[in-house]
Each structure stands twice: as C-alpha cells, then as structure tokens.
Amino acid sequence: MSDLEAEHKAWKLHRREALAAPDGWLNIIGRYPLEEGNVSVGRAEDNDIVLSAGPDRVGRLVQDEEGQVIFEPADGSEPLRLALSKSQPPRFTSGHLLLEVMTINGANALRVRDTQSVAPAALGALRSFPFDPSWRLSADWVRLDQAHRLEIDTSRSIRTEVEATHKAVFTRDGQRFELLATHGSAERPQFVFRDETARTGETYAAARFLFGENVTETSIVLDFNRAVSPPCAFTDFAVCPLPPRENILPIRIEAGELKPDGH
C-alpha cells in the first residue's frame, strides 16, 4: 500500500467517525424555524416544539424583534444569551440532547441532536469509488478580477448569497475545467460541484463537496478521492448549498464517495 493509499484509508476512517460523532449528522431529530416571541421545547405534548427524545421540559427560547435569542432552561438556571453565528451556531445541552440555533439569511432555526441515538451505530462503511491517485490534482488557484456575488440555492429552497473570490483551474485528459470556491475558508476552500456520475445515480444527485488542500497564492490541491456526499444525503434536517452552474461539470469524476445507501 502506497503512502497516499494509507493516508486515504486513515482519512476515510476519520470521515466516518465525524459523521457518527455526537455533533455529527446522523443523530439529528429535528429542525424547527424560530420567529419573534417565545416557544417552549421538550418531549411533553404540551410544548410548542415537541421533541421525540429528551426531557419533558427543556426550556424556552425567546427571540426578540431584532432576531436575538435567549435560552431559558426549564431547571431555572441562568438564561443564556446565544451568540448567533452562521459559521459557528451556538450550542447548549439538556440531558442527552445537544441543541443549536442556526442562522441563514437572518432567519433562525433550532436544530436538535440526540446523543443517545442508535442511528450512528447503524452506519455501515461509506461506499466510494476505488482510490485513484490520478484524481489527486494540482490546480491553478486563480484570483478573480473582482469578487463574484452569487445567489446559491439550497436543499431546502432557501436561497443564499455568497461571494466567490477564487477559482481552481485544472486539466483532465487534455480538457480544461474550472471550479468556483463558494464556501469554506482561505486555508480550506470548499467547492460544491456536480458531475455526470450524479446524473447516472452513482453519486448523490444534488451535489458533492470537495475541500481544497495545500493552498498557496497560485496553486491548490484538489483530491477528488475526498469528494464527499453533503450532510443532506444523511439527514432531512440539514440545509446544503447546491452547486452554481459554473460547478456542474460535463465529465465523470470516478473518485470519492458514492451515493449513501437508502438515498
């Protein structure tokens, strides 16, 4: 086994562990939009938000007219003013529940994870194409002449606006292709793409995600063996960006994760 294959095997194990972690994507039991006012949360049927697991009384969420949110625990402990963030949603716990308030386009929603869920344990091996080192590509990392503002649709039809500043330019079998980085960070740009394997049902139909590696001013590594199915391939309670038209590629990328079982 080559060093690249060994690294890829370790990466696949880490990827599976992250999916099945207490803050992963397999144990989410609900997503509930929030509006101005206050709502009670818990398992008891008389709550405004009725959960399928956890304490009968979790507490209350109070959202003011400016969209700020306070969590008032049912046990009478100190209320929490949540520091809302799109990239790092504030989290709090109640019993074996992990709760967070996520924000998209200024609209808040409560997302709840059950850390005692049996769903993560039921996850089998993630199916993927055979490892192919030829799909680990060094691409040009090109700064756009001016930032490109894009309106991106999502898996829940919540349109969002993003700003793209760079594109990756690579060659495969003599053809030139480009991918816009629409999410992620400067150190780890994220590409949301779709290729012909989605059309044939081999990979997740909406998109796959790829994160750039070894970024310099002028170059970036695209390892398509690490192209992953998005969170919405594993749960209905995720909101995933869809690819811009620039990232719909007319080729088969036979590398990375295949469509998860049951999807």
pLDDT in tens, 203-232: 999 999 999 999 999 999 999 999 999 999
Domains in the chain: ranges and CATH: 28-122 (2.60.200), 124-247 (no CATH)
Say if residue 9's pLDDT is above 60.
yes
Q: In which order are the strands placed within the sheet that holds 208-211?
A: 183-184, 189-193, 208-211
Percent of the chain with pLDDT over 90: 93
C-alpha span between 187 and 175 (Å, rounded): 27
- The angle formed by the CA atoms of residues 110, 14 and 210, to the nearest 5 degrees, is 75
Q: Which of 91, 66, 89, 88 is nearest to 80 (CA)?
A: 91
| Ramachandran angles phi, psi of 190, nearest 5° | -110, 135
Mean pLDDT, the chain, rounded, equals 96
pLDDT in tens, 71-82: 999 999 999 999
pLDDT band per the 50, 70, 90 thresholds, residue 261: confident
pTM of the shown model: 0.93
DSSP-derived 3-state class of residue 243: coil
* Distance in angstroms between the alpha carbons of the first and the last residue of the chain: 32
Going from the C-alpha of 204 to that of each of 9, 32, 76, the distances in angstroms are: 21, 25, 45
